[in-house]
């Protein structure tokens, strides 16, 4: 980094303002928009659905039809 620099040259991060933290230089936080909020919630929802499906398969293996070859695992369909 050039001594005395006051602006960022990194366009990927939106060219945020530079701040000095101790002896190091850092960029200010990136503003998040509506799309970022939506993507976060989509991923959180997806992860919770996957966890619920796996939990159902563990807790109720005899009534679950998620694994079609359960007879190989000594389970049977009711």
> What pLDDT score does 21 carry?
81
Find, among 10, 45, 17, the residue nearest to 31 by Cα: 17
Helix (H, G, I), strand (E, B) or coil at 36: helix
> What pLDDT digit, counting tens, does each position of 33-71 carry?
899 899 999 999 999 999 998 888 788 777 666 666 666
What is the DSSP secondary structure assignment for residue 9, as one 8-state letter? Answer: -
> What pLDDT digit, counting tens, does each position of 3-17 carry?
666 655 555 555 567
Domain residue ranges in the chain: 1-29, 34-73
> What pLDDT score does 24 carry?
83
> What pLDDT score does 73 carry?
67
> What pLDDT score does 20 carry?
79
The residues, any chain, with a CB within 8 Å of residue 6's CB and separated by 6 or more, are 18
């Amino acid at each position: 980094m050039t001594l005395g620099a006051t602006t960022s040259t990194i366009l990927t991060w939106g060219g945020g303002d530079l701040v000095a933290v101790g002896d190091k230089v850092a960029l200010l936080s990136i503003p998040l928009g509506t799309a970022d909020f939506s993507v976060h919630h989509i991923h959180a929802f997806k992860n919770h659905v996957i966890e619920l499906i796996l939990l159902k398969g563990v807790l109720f293996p005899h009534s679950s039809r998620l694994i079609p070859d359960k007879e190989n695992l000594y389970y049977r369909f009711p």
